[in-house]
């Protein structure tokens, strides 16, 4: 896995409107386990594996999973907090995306990003930063449904989505997935 994994998959927005962005981001990176656990409901997060990316881009398991879920802390390379927690099917999807391989067929997965997240592009799965003149796509707390093409077909996938309603990220690519606002 690479640090690009967190940049690309950390799909969507700011943690809260009350804290300044830098302060919220700093709070998320201070404790990687607490940051990772903030991504999902406590009933999932407390038994999930915790994986963090090292400075070399290699993953390190900080805690083994007892429930099939893997949570990752905030990625400091993005402008807003974006920890995530995914089930085993979503992890297979993410590994395919990172490896530029087709995602597994008939493999619907779920990713929680309850602290929100930021993403460089709603159309390019490999964008590391927004295009000139564009801003990061910011989404508040949300769930991602991956590996469900028939579900994606029912929603829009625009370059500048309305993040307050369900929308498709990376539409027209093998990595298209549904973003569902939570809360």
Angle at 164 between CA 42 and CA 2, to 5 degrees: 60
Residue (of 56, 49, 11) closest to 33 by Cα position: 49
Partners of residue 51 on adjacent β-strands? 61
| Band of pLDDT at residue 134, cut at 50, 70 and 90 | confident
- DSSP of 147-175: S-HHHHTTS---SS--TTS-EEESTTSTT
Q: Mean pLDDT over residues 72-77, rounded?
A: 90
Element (H, E) at 29: helix 21-30
Between CA 124 and CA 169 the distance in angstroms is 9
Give the residue with greater pLDDT, 147 vs 21: 147
Domain residue ranges in the chain: 3-181
Between CA 9 and CA 32 the distance in angstroms is 17
**pLDDT at residue 26, rounded to an integer:** 53
Between CA 23 and CA 26 the distance in angstroms is 5
The answer to whether the predicted template modeling score (pTM) of the entire model surpasses 0.85 is no
Residue (of 88, 52, 48) closest to 65 by Cα position: 48
Angle at 59 between CA 64 and CA 123, to 5 degrees: 115
**pLDDT at residue 74, rounded to an integer:** 94
Q: Mean pLDDT over residues 122-136, rounded?
A: 91
Between CA 180 and CA 17 the distance in angstroms is 19
Neighbours of 171 (CB within 10 A): 19
Between CA 32 and CA 54 the distance in angstroms is 11
Length of the chain as a residue count: 183
| Band of pLDDT at residue 166, cut at 50, 70 and 90 | very high
Q: Tell me: the pLDDT tens digits for 12-52?
A: 222 222 233 444 445 555 799 999 999 999 999 999 999 99
Q: Tell me: the pLDDT tens digits for 108-128?
A: 999 999 999 999 999 999 998
């Amino acid at each position: 896995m690479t640090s690009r994994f967190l940049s690309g998959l950390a799909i969507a927005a700011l943690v809260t409107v009350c804290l300044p962005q830098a302060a919220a981001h700093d709070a998320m990176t201070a404790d990687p386990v607490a940051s990772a656990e903030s991504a999902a409901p406590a009933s999932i997060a407390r038994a999930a594996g915790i994986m963090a990316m090292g400075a070399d881009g290699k993953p390190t398991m900080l805690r083994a999973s007892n429930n099939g879920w893997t949570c990752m802390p905030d990625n400091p390379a993005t402008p807003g907090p974006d920890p995530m927690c995914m089930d085993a099917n979503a992890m297979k999807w993410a590994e395919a995306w990172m490896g530029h391989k087709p995602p597994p067929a008939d493999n619907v997965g779920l990713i929680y990003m309850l602290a929100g997240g930021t993403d460089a592009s709603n159309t390019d799965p490999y964008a590391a930063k927004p295009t000139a003149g564009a801003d990061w796509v910011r989404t508040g707390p949300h769930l991602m449904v991956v590996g469900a093409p028939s579900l994606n077909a029912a929603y829009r996938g625009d370059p500048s989505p309305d993040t307050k309603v369900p929308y498709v990220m990376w539409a027209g690519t093998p990595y298209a997935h549904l973003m569902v606002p939570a809360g």
